[in-house]
């Protein structure tokens, strides 16, 4: 039996449509797969320290604290102090009454802020 060329073309088109539909629905089912925020296992050393290193230590390390109002965020004890006096969250969440941090850059993204918030609300453990 001879299959008409237009039928094959139609079949190919249909396949393309089906696969693109599947792709669409995957995006719909799992939004933001590329920028997913994983806050299931937040710890000081694995989650909080990298954020502080990347965004804060240029002004708040033990050696650069002169640039950061002498607020140190390098050692756990110093970070814990700022977690407990609410300045850490107050500043990164840009709450009124606190200096917005990181100074001179844009606000941290929501994922980083919630990571720090989860850690602080857990009592800022040294884990």
Return the closest-CA partner of residue 83 out of 21, 39, 127, 40: 127
Binding marks (x or -) toward ligand HEC, 59..78, rule CB under 6 A? xx------xxx-x-x-----
R_g of the chain, CA atoms, integer Å: 24
Residue with the two structure tokens 């002004």: 59
- Our CB check for ligand HEC shows the closer of 46 and 106 to be 106
Please give the structure tokens belonging to residue 82: 């700022």
Determine if 117 is a binding residue for ligand HEC (CB under 6 A): no
- Our CB check for ligand HEC shows the closer of 43 and 100 to be 100
For residue 28, CA distances in Å to 14, 19, 23, 39, 69 come to 21, 14, 9, 21, 46
- Our CB check for ligand HEC shows the closer of 24 and 64 to be 64
Q: Which of residues 85-114 bind ligand HEC (CB under 6 A)?
A: 87-88, 91-92, 98-99, 101-104, 108
**Residues near ligand HEC (CB under 6 A), total:** 22
Report the distance separating Cα 94 and Cα 43, nearest Å: 23
List interacting residues with ligand HEC (CB under 6 A): 55-56, 58-60, 67-69, 71, 73, 82, 87-88, 91-92, 98-99, 101-104, 108
């Amino acid at each position: 039996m001879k299959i008409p060329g237009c039928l094959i073309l139609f079949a190919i088109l249909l396949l393309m449509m089906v696969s693109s539909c599947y792709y669409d629905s995957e995006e719909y089912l799992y939004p933001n797969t590329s920028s997913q925020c994983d806050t299931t296992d937040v710890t000081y050393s694995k989650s909080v320290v990298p954020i502080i290193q990347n965004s804060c230590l240029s002004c708040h390390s033990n050696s650069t604290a002169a640039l950061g109002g002498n607020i140190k965020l390098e050692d756990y004890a110093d970070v814990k102090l700022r977690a407990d006096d609410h300045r850490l969250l107050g500043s990164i969440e840009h709450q009124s009454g606190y200096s917005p941090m990181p100074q001179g850059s844009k606000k941290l993204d929501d994922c980083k802020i919630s990571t720090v918030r989860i850690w602080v609300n857990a009592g800022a453990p040294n884990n």
